[in-house]
Structure 1
Amino acid sequence: MTKTADLDLSVPDINCAACAGTVERALSALPGISKLSVNPATKRVHMRAEDTPLRDISDVMEKAGYPAQLATTRLEIDGMHCASCQGRIERALTGNPQVASAQVNLATQQAQITHAPALSAQALAQVVTDTGYPATVIEPNAAPTAPKNEASALRRRFLTALVLTVPLFLTEMGGHIIPGLHDRLYALVPMQVVWIVQMLLALVVLAGPGRKFFTTGLSALMRGAPEMNSLVALGSGAAFLFSAVATLAPSLLPPESRHVYFEAAAVIVTLILMGRWLEARAKGQAGAAIHKLMDLAPDTATVLRNGKAVRIPTDKIVTGDLLLLAAGERVALDGVITEGSGHIDESMLTGEPVAVVKSSGDSVTGGTLNGASALTYRVTATGADTVLSRIVTLVEQAQAARLPVQALVDKVTRVFVPVIMALSVLTLMLWLAFGPGLAQAIVAAVAVLIIACPCAMGLAVPVSIMVGTGRGAQLGVLFRQGDALQKLASARIVAFDKTGTLTEGRPTVTDIRTAGITEDQALRLTAAAEVRSEHPLAAAFLARAQNMDLPAAQDVTAQAGRGMTARVEGHNLLIGNLKALEAAGITPDAGLVAHATAAANQGATPVHLVIDGRHSASFALADAERPEAADTIAALHDMGLKTAMLSGDMPATAKAVGTRLGIDQIQGGLTPEDKLTVIGQMGADNVFVGDGINDAPALAAAGTGIAIGTGTDIAIQTADAVLMSGDPRGVVRAITLSRAVMRNIYQNLFWAFAYNVALVPVAMGVLVPFGGPQMSPMLGAGAMAFSSVFVVGNALRLRKAG
């Protein structure tokens, strides 16, 4: 069927007719595009797309350099129980020509959809609801809420089914436990009456606690989209109906087939409800990290209103309010301290146990724990804008991600339920042809339906991601992109920026050598010029000259990668490296150059001062290595990884620092473009760790980019993962965790696939011709329930990973 959509897309980067022409040519090359118009004035593109997915249109525009502005919607979905449900919802969403991508997560019961802005979030929710799974829109600016946990409702359904099933099971199977029970029972009550009582009990189980299997499963079956509930409904329903016929109309069946399986129908429902209850409990534990994070922020806080301290709910507090923070109390919202000083425990953010000293002007984060001092702070962010809310959102987004390994699961589960139903029919036919009778044929067919478990396959990947990313948040490692979990696990080399990543990022002036002037004169002139500079080294000069009276500087001009020029007290100054001196035609002073070279060999950065064309001073600036840097490199080597340093600092400085830390490959003097080239030569399995604006391109280009959380926003936004603290050991934790998650996923997938491959043939009866047993549907139900619980339970082991 042809799918046609009229698309109207905003493209902010279109600025002129040439831009519009580029976009028009790129889109015209796609098949099925007509009525195309590109308006550079409104920055909009209109087209009619016939059988051309929005995903392809978006990809073409992005490759052309003019990405379209698409909307993102998140949905909360009820009623998903297996991978078939997940796949069906995804196909329903992506079947809309205005949807670019849809990711449905079975573990979190949510969907994330990228789509054309003209398509409303409510329309997307309706698409999912019409598929048979009620969906509601998650408001984009709402503060994150705790994940739903349906364990309580499932527990009630299971216990109700259990109470009804126990007497039914005992009357039918008790004779195997208590010899002679059946003879005494049937001596008191006719067998026909016992069967009628069993039928009524089973009917209550199926129509009560098990009703949802039938309403959901049969509805899906009638839509031609069977799923896990359909298998349960068909299996337990077939057992019940066959038994009802044997009870109420036995003449319709051959004498040898007049058996009842009411206990099988009821036990199937009861065991599967037990499995789903245990699975829901385990999934609740899997989402515990989110719960713990959200519970950190207190519900109330003390606010100063009209000079009075009032305790009010935090959702009533607005930006600008002054809050009082008592000793030992948790910070309610993000803010800036206005009064007092003390220690704040930020371990919930950084994973670091050492409290941080805070005083007036310092920022505090909601959820962190105050020490022994009373503080006052002004609120700077509330609701979804707080750091804690953004962390929870990042974790939720990572949990909803689809790893590349999921593709295999999707291919299998798309056909899994129809194949199982076909195998069940085949089993029935084979048993009718070669078996002892109709009853045994139905038992085998029902066993095939019941024992198959797409639930375990559907949960194998997302539940491990769910637990792993939550554990990462507890360790101070945030995965902004879910697939970073898989990419990090296969890393072969880890490259670091130097300044601010392996070093403190706060260089200090450690030595001054002059020629013809005093050290104070050299420092005073240089610091005066550096007042106007934004270079990281400028702070070092200003810190050293903080007690000096600095004159004003004029005509300050920065020279990228070399230094700066300025005019101070009538002197023309050039401050920079040797390349800057050479470019200006300045003859270097041999003594100062020797001093600079010696300093560089020790890992310091030399900076030269030229006054009125004469080389007058050489400064040595050193940036101390972080105390944890050497341990980080050693730990990565122990994990079998190579290490590299890619620094913009002088090669000699980079080499000195890298050698002390034990790094394998050391390259200095690199521009941001040089870093991109080197990263490209490292292969796909590389990791780059950085913190600065100049690291953003490398972080984006690396196989996996990890940003130090103390770095710039742009670095954090382009990275795949973020370390909330400045401790580089977080890289080791991130890689260790990713390896544990992927190992866990492969274990789950092996179990899920091996379980079905091994037990479905047994249920079909392949062992019977060799003297083996015929599998009971009840055993199949128990095994199926156990498989899902096993997968989730295995994933829960990740709560102690890293």
Structure 2
Amino acid sequence: MTGMSCASCAGRVEQRLNKLDGVSATVNFATRVATVDAADAVGVTELCEVVARAGYHAAPRTEVTTSEDDPDARHARDLLRRLAVAAVLFIPLADLSVMFAAVPSTRFAGWEWVLTGLAAPIVTWAAWPFHRAAARNARHGVAAMETLISIGVTAATVWSLYTVFFDSAERQTSGVWQALVGSDSIYLEVAAGVTVLVLAGRYFEARAKSKAGGALRALAALGAKEVSVLLADGGEMLIPASELKEGQRFVVRPGQSIAADGLVVEGAAAVDVSAMTGESSPVQAAPGESVVGGTVVLDGRLIIEAAAVGPDTRFAGMVRLVEEAQASKADAQRLADRIAAVFVPAVLVIAIVTAAAWLLMGGDVDRAISAALAVLVIACPCALGLATPTAMMVASGRGAQLGIFLKGHRALEAIRKVDTVVFDKTGTLTTGKPTVTSVVAADGWDAYEVLARAAAAESGSEHALSAAIVSASRGPQALAVRDFRAIAGSGVVAAVNGVPVTVGRPSWVARGRVVAANLVAARRTGQSRGETVIFVAVGDAVCAAITVADAVKDSAADAVAALHRQGLKTMLLTGDNEATAAAIASTVGIEEVVAEVQPEGKVEVVERLREAGRVVAVVGDGINDAPALARADLGLAIGRGTDVAAGAADIVLVRESLDAVPQALGLARATLRTIRTNMIWAFGYNVAAIP
């Protein structure tokens, strides 16, 4: 949907759509999407015609907008160009206008044309978006903020041109004091200044709207674009993923995304599901196992039979969850837009009444028009339009110094009421990267030497756990590795310096071998903490147990403690297993834990908390966190996480330290106070100045 310039536009379209029988519609101004629940008798064409009669353009939505054709990004770039030109011309225009009005002796031949030449591009080309919107609104019998802006700019320009070209001689001979008294008659700099200020506000607003759709665009970009379908003769054919049908079998190789939800019919591989489920460790996929679209195969080759494709996949469901969650916030719009339907007509009426009153009281036409024009210029909503963007600019600058990025103002209304902070685990409370936490060696073996041999054997594997072991090794690096074999779902085997080394699952490595008691105890302890335990055998002897875990961030416990001191409750919400979640929660001081939940389950938990009366802030970093971030009263995304999470959140924490969470909440509260103060001054200015 295009053509909407403010929240009142979205409200007008929504109102027109809901007047149709059997139609229930919501219009999201931030994403320019109308979600319509309509009876079968109501067609898409009829809905688009209703939108067109309201003065806007709509078309059926077939896919998520890409960054290349994002209308909000294009609009922001257009506004920036107009703003740059207007700002450059406004500076000399303002200086010359004040000088010529206050000191008539400085005027030279053709000074009127100099002012007109500087002002014309600003009040015409730069202000064109407001004039165009005002004309469209007039055709449909409505008034919005653009109406007031356009009328104010146009009236100030026309009256100023009249006074400059036809009424300047009298001021030139009336003395300096009379020139100062009458200097308000030169309104060109006022018309240009209003244009510059409102353009600045609209530019920042357009840029924020473009960010609002970024979550959906980033999420859509993660899906497989093409898929290799298995033919009856055993060959393969590459087709667009959108053409994949249920029941078709397709091939996925290492490093590729799975194109659809389905069932593995052949092959085995480790699958990285962290982005979709929050599970930090890869999941082994084997024949008969279900797999989810959007996850990535790390090793091995899988043949999968598609069970759910297109809009029926869990991946597509996540796109819908983020979109619906964003739409649920669309009602919290800027106060100036919410009251535009009353404010604009009221100002126009006041201006007309002012002119009429001056004429009835015996004033001349010039004085009546000047008074009416003063009402329009004073009421032109530059203060209302900039009250929020200016506060956001200042907060963004301060936030950048603290590693905090405040994206928008819509969710800030709930900041001071937040009472519960919900943390994701993987990548949020933890580093998101598996690391070796301990190496326990059997009697007679050196732990570091065994780790070095295990790392040498694992060096040929792409598995995340293999990378952790290789990274942790501090033993000899010049070890000869031959005959490497990866056993999918079990581990690896290789000859290291001519000696067979087996690394993998304890049950697989221990088969037919004797395991020392201390290694059995290490396995039991590690698994009780939710860590991954790997056995290493050199020759026929099981000689070590390596535990791998996602390490807790050093700042996590302090951040949680700081939130508790502020009187906030905390919760751990993760897709990981119960044992791991409980261990992490205990380490950082979180008492309430909900584990083994899918992305839609996270949204349900957030909704339950809100229904129970809590005001919820969610901190996360993964794709699986995006719906919960968008649904929460406040979303905080770890900046080094996925673009999807950052796009769905209201606040992005650029640095890894979780100390930024309590700092972000404090900055957001301060920003909200500033916005409210600005709004009070903006309305107070109008209330005091118009009379």
TM-score (structure 2 length as normaliser): 0.53
- Separation in 2, partners of 1:240, 1:148: 24
- Separation in 2, partners of 1:29, 1:518: 74
* Deviation (angstroms), 1:102: 8.8
Q: Residue 206 of structure 1 contacts residue 269 of structure 1 at CA under 8 Å; is this kept in 2? A: no
Of 487, 491, 501, the match for 1:556: 487
- Separation in 1, partners of 2:644, 2:165: 68
- Separation in 2, partners of 1:243, 1:160: 13
The structure-2 alpha-carbon separation of the partners of 1:703 and 1:531, relative to structure 1 and needing over 3 Å to count, comes to farther
The structure-2 alpha-carbon separation of the partners of 1:649 and 1:220, relative to structure 1 and needing over 3 Å to count, comes to closer
The structure-2 alpha-carbon separation of the partners of 1:235 and 1:568, relative to structure 1 and needing over 3 Å to count, comes to closer
Q: Which amino acid counterpart does residue 464 of structure 1 have in structure 2?
A: A
Question: Which residue of structure 2 lines up, in the alignment, with residue 753 of structure 1?
Answer: 683
Segment of structure 1 superposing worse, 240-249 or 700-709: 240-249
CA deviations 1:279-317 (Å, max 9, x no partner) are 879979x99xx9xxxxxxxxxxxxxxxxxxxxxxxxxxx
What aligned pairs does 1:5-404 form with structure 2 within 5 A after superposition? 29=40, 31-33=42-44, 50-51=49-50, 57-58=59-60, 61=62, 67=64, 72=69, 110=79, 148=84, 150-151=86-87, 153-167=89-103, 227-228=148-149, 230-231=151-152, 234=155, 266-269=183-186, 273=190, 276=193
Identity of aligned residues (%): 29
* Deviation (angstroms), 1:539: 3.3
Of 743, 751, 759, the match for 2:673: 743
1:729 counterpart = 2:656: no
Q: Residue 156 of structure 2 contacts residue 191 of structure 2 at CA under 8 Å; is this kept in 1? A: no
* Deviation (angstroms), 1:458: 1.9
Of 527, 533, 558, the match for 1:607: 533
- Separation in 2, partners of 1:720, 1:536: 31
* Deviation (angstroms), 1:499: 4.3
- Separation in 1, partners of 2:552, 2:152: 61
What aligned pairs does 1:643-682 form with structure 2 within 5 A after superposition? 643-647=570-574, 651-668=578-595, 675=602, 677-682=604-609
The structure-2 alpha-carbon separation of the partners of 1:589 and 1:436, relative to structure 1 and needing over 3 Å to count, comes to farther
Of 340, 350, 354, the match for 1:423: 350
Q: Residue 436 of structure 2 contacts residue 546 of structure 2 at CA under 8 Å; is this kept in 1? A: no
CA deviations 1:94-150 (Å, max 9, x no partner) are xxxxxxx79966xx8728xxxxxxxxxxxxxxxxxxxxxxx78xxxxxxxxxx8275
What CA RMSD, in Å, does the superposition of the two structures yield over aligned residues?
Answer: 6.1
CA deviations 1:399-457 (Å, max 9, x no partner) are xxx98644542244466555423222223334555x46557766654543343231112
- Separation in 1, partners of 2:487, 2:626: 27
Question: Which residue of structure 2 lines up, in the alignment, with residue 461 of structure 1?
Answer: 388
* Deviation (angstroms), 1:552: 4.6
CA deviations 1:357-416 (Å, max 9, x no partner) are xxxxxxxxxxxxxxxxxxxxxxxxxxxxxxxxxxxxxxxxxxxxx986445422444665
The structure-2 alpha-carbon separation of the partners of 1:615 and 1:482, relative to structure 1 and needing over 3 Å to count, comes to farther
* Deviation (angstroms), 1:759: 3.1
- Separation in 1, partners of 2:564, 2:101: 58
- Separation in 1, partners of 2:645, 2:121: 49
* Deviation (angstroms), 1:272: 5.4
- Separation in 2, partners of 1:687, 1:158: 46
- Separation in 2, partners of 1:529, 1:677: 44
* Deviation (angstroms), 1:160: 1.9
* Deviation (angstroms), 1:607: 1.3
Q: Which amino acid counterpart does residue 164 of structure 1 have in structure 2?
A: F
Q: Residue 508 of structure 1 contacts residue 541 of structure 1 at CA under 8 Å; is this kept in 2? A: yes
Q: Residue 58 of structure 1 contacts residue 68 of structure 1 at CA under 8 Å; is this kept in 2? A: no
* Deviation (angstroms), 1:711: 4.4
Secondary structure of 2:570 counterpart? strand
Q: Residue 687 of structure 1 contacts residue 703 of structure 1 at CA under 8 Å; is this kept in 2? A: yes
Secondary structure of 1:110 counterpart? helix
Q: Residue 163 of structure 2 contacts residue 185 of structure 2 at CA under 8 Å; is this kept in 1? A: no
The structure-2 alpha-carbon separation of the partners of 1:157 and 1:245, relative to structure 1 and needing over 3 Å to count, comes to closer
- Separation in 2, partners of 1:613, 1:713: 47
Secondary structure of 1:512 counterpart? strand
Question: Which residue of structure 2 lines up, in the alignment, with residue 627 of structure 1?
Answer: 554
- Separation in 1, partners of 2:332, 2:378: 25
Question: Which residue of structure 2 lines up, in the alignment, with residue 368 of structure 1?
Answer: none
Q: Which amino acid counterpart does residue 156 of structure 1 have in structure 2?
A: P
Question: Which residue of structure 2 lines up, in the alignment, with residue 173 of structure 1?
Answer: none
The structure-2 alpha-carbon separation of the partners of 1:472 and 1:522, relative to structure 1 and needing over 3 Å to count, comes to same
Which structure has the greater CA radius of gyration? 1
* Deviation (angstroms), 1:155: 3.0
- Separation in 2, partners of 1:282, 1:272: 15
Q: Residue 86 of structure 2 contacts residue 122 of structure 2 at CA under 8 Å; is this kept in 1? A: no
Secondary structure of 1:746 counterpart? helix
- Separation in 1, partners of 2:688, 2:434: 61
Secondary structure of 2:564 counterpart? helix
The structure-2 alpha-carbon separation of the partners of 1:731 and 1:271, relative to structure 1 and needing over 3 Å to count, comes to farther
- Separation in 2, partners of 1:272, 1:427: 23
* Deviation (angstroms), 1:470: 4.6
Q: Residue 555 of structure 1 contacts residue 565 of structure 1 at CA under 8 Å; is this kept in 2? A: yes
* Deviation (angstroms), 1:28: 10
Question: Which residue of structure 2 lines up, in the alignment, with residue 507 of structure 1?
Answer: 435
Q: Which amino acid counterpart does residue 586 of structure 2 have in structure 1?
A: T
- Separation in 2, partners of 1:555, 1:283: 59
The structure-2 alpha-carbon separation of the partners of 1:468 and 1:515, relative to structure 1 and needing over 3 Å to count, comes to same
The structure-2 alpha-carbon separation of the partners of 1:448 and 1:724, relative to structure 1 and needing over 3 Å to count, comes to closer
The structure-2 alpha-carbon separation of the partners of 1:469 and 1:441, relative to structure 1 and needing over 3 Å to count, comes to same
Q: Which amino acid counterpart does residue 466 of structure 2 have in structure 1?
A: A
* Deviation (angstroms), 1:756: 1.8
- Separation in 1, partners of 2:586, 2:417: 26
Q: Residue 499 of structure 1 contacts residue 623 of structure 1 at CA under 8 Å; is this kept in 2? A: yes
1:452 counterpart = 2:452: no
- Separation in 2, partners of 1:653, 1:702: 25
Q: Residue 559 of structure 2 contacts residue 662 of structure 2 at CA under 8 Å; is this kept in 1? A: yes
Question: Which residue of structure 2 lines up, in the alignment, with residue 708 of structure 1?
Answer: 638
TM-score (structure 1 length as normaliser): 0.47
